[in-house]
Structure 1
Amino acid sequence: MHKFDEMYERLPYAGAAIRQHYQRYDQWLAKQAPEVMNSRREEAEMIFRRVGITFAVYGAKDEDGSGTERLIPFDLLPRIIPAHEW
């Protein structure tokens, strides 16, 4: 699972410190097996499709000639915004 830029004090983030408000989350994330995180992503995608959190891509056609439905983009990892930045 790739972390996102907002978790780090500076870019590029190779060797950069984790921002203070992400430290506990980073510790939790480090303990998660990649298979578990992939499973959670797949589960979220399945729920999004079942509930209909999708959008149509007009002009793009699938095998039967109808429009293509795509999932609304989402991040499995939350953005944490500290109070002083809110």
Structure 2
Amino acid sequence: MLTEKKTCRDELLIALRELIKTTGKNEFSINEIITFMNNQGTMFKKGTIRNHIKYRCYANAKQRYHATNYDDLIMLENGLYSLNTK
């Protein structure tokens, strides 16, 4: 049986949607989503998830370091993030 290989971004977006359904709010900290993903059995390391949130998937980042970036998340006040609904 073949299983579809998911990228860190794929798992992150799935986890965020589940977390939003669970908490009822579109607002989370990096540690909150890392803990949630670890509880779901992610194979990705804490640093990989953190880098995706802070650099690859962060729409309003001042500087981007990767060749491929996504506008999935928006940084709110106090280091909180939300899923970009645009």
- For the criterion TM > 0.5, the same-fold answer is no
TM-score bin (small chain): under 0.3
Give the alignment's TM-score, normalised by structure 2.
0.26
Greater RCO, 1 or 2 (C-alpha within 8 Å, sep 6+): 2
- Name which one, 1 or 2, has greater alpha-carbon Rg: 1
TM-score under structure 1 length normalisation: 0.26
